[in-house]
Amino acid sequence: MIDFINFYLIPGLTLGSIYALGAVGISMIFGILRFAHFAHGDLMTVGAYAALTAVWVLGIPALAAIPIAIVFTCLVALMADRLFYKPLRDLPTIYTVIASFGVALMLRSLVQTFWGTDSEVYMTGFQKPVVLFDIFRVATRHLQIIIATALLTLALHLFLSRTQMGKSMRAVADDPALASVAGLDTERVIRWTWIIGAGLAAIAGVFVGLDTDVHTNLGWNLLLPMFAAALLGGIGKPLGAIAGGLIIGVAEEICTYPVFGESLISPSYKTAIAFVIMVLILIFRPQGLFKGRLM
């Protein structure tokens, strides 16, 4: 049981936190701009590399580089929206999906061009795990990632339920036509959607780098579980997406847990769990797992 918590649950929650932060943006963009953003994983990659550069140039730890990563990634996202998504706003949204597919490849090739294709790490050396109650051994970085995600979830909840922009976002997600009749500035709401989505993606990207390493396919490889998390949580419900991300992260780790001496599935098929969950959701509950007022 202790082994289960140390080696499966905690890593699962860590992975889930990363999925969750990425899925929030996907869910919000789907809710407000009404398209599946295929470049979201690559925004994470951009964030991870922006932080890597800050670590190299300024010699600061990766966590301290997060604000730089956020700012850079937000600028990239706002620029992509202005140049490639906004001109297609009046067309059926599937054209924007195609455009975002192109943006995903462009972002990745830019990263590959400027940073190269080698895997990098934020820091070398061994971090001593944190020991809790003498039995739980948790890697420091896992603890940092899980706590940070919990705090960000709380902040997101307060933002969506208490602030004017948060309520405006939910209103636009509910009914864009009525939102403009009520005089809300839709373009401003869209800008903030990008800022929050890209900001959280940047944080998630840095977390991936902290947890494993930084490489150019980092974000793209996570796109499938993040889509699955957003669908699981119910499109347009950012807090649902967080729950969805955690569920998928934990499910992926648990499925490799040796129940009867052998793991349920081969670890190389971990990503398939996300796909299976996605397919089940699409078949049985396309509206997402949660009912009611989860935002």
Partner 1 sequence: MSRRVLDVQGVSAGYGQQAIITNINLHVDDQSITAIIGPNGAGKSTLLKAVFGLNQHLGGEILFDGRSIFNARTADLVPMGISAVPQTHNVFPSLSVEENLDIGTFAAPPPDARATKAKILDLFPDLKEKRSQQAGELSGGQRQMVAVGRALMSDPKLILLDEPTAGLSPAYLEIIFDLLLQVRDSGVAILMVEQNAKQALAIADFAYVLVNGENAYEGTGADLLANDEVRRSFLGGSAAND
Partner 2 sequence: MELPGFVFYFITFFTMGGIYAILCLALNMQWGFGGLFNAGIAGFYAIGAYTGAILTAAGSDDHVGGFGLPILIGLVCAGIASGIVGWMIARICVRLKADYLAMASIGIAEIIRLAIVNEEWLTNGSLGISRIPRPLESVFSGRQSEVFFVVFVWIVVAVTFLVARRLQVSPWGRVMRAIRDNDAAAASVGKDVQRFRTETFVVGAIFMGVAGALSAHYFKFFSPDATEPLLITFLAWVMLIAGGSGNNIGAVAGALVIWAIWSLTEVVTQQLPPDWATRSSYIRMLLVGLLLQFVLQRFRSGLFPEKSPKLRVSDDR
- Which residues are at the interface with partner 2 (CB under 8 A)? 30, 34-36, 38, 83-84, 87-88, 91-95, 97-99, 101-103, 105-106, 108-110, 112-113, 176, 220, 223-224, 227-228, 231, 266, 268-269, 271-272, 274-275, 278-279, 282-283, 286
Selection from partner 2, partner 1, none that 109 binds (CB < 5 to 8 A by kind) is partner 2
* Residue-wise DSSP of 100-135: HHHHHHHHHHHHHHHH-SS-B-S--SPPPPEEETTT
Distance (Å, rounded) from C-alpha 210 to C-alpha 266?
A: 25
Selection from partner 2, partner 1, none that 271 binds (CB < 5 to 8 A by kind) is partner 2
Distance (Å, rounded) from C-alpha 248 to C-alpha 272?
A: 11
DSSP-assigned letter for residue 9: I
Backbone angles phi and psi of 253, in degrees to 5: -75, -40
> Minimum distance from CB of 2 to partner 2 (Å)?
30
Neighbours of 162 (CB within 10 A): 9
Q: What is the CA angle 95-98-103, rounded to 5?
A: 125
Q: Which of residues 150-169 bind partner 1 (CB under 8 A)?
A: 164, 167-168
> Minimum distance from CB of 267 to partner 2 (Å)?
10
Distance (Å, rounded) from C-alpha 72 to C-alpha 282?
A: 34
Q: Which of residues 260-289 bind partner 1 (CB under 8 A)?
A: none
- Going 207 to 218 to 26 to 240, the CA torsion angle's sign is negative
Single residue of 102, 175, 267, 287 touching partner 1 by CB under 8 A:
175
Selection from partner 1, partner 2, none that 179 binds (CB < 5 to 8 A by kind) is partner 1
> Minimum distance from CB of 109 to partner 2 (Å)?
4
Selection from partner 1, partner 2, none that 243 binds (CB < 5 to 8 A by kind) is none
Interface with partner 1, residue 124, by CB under 8 A: no
Interface with partner 1, residue 174, by CB under 8 A: yes
Distance (Å, rounded) from C-alpha 39 to C-alpha 205?
A: 13
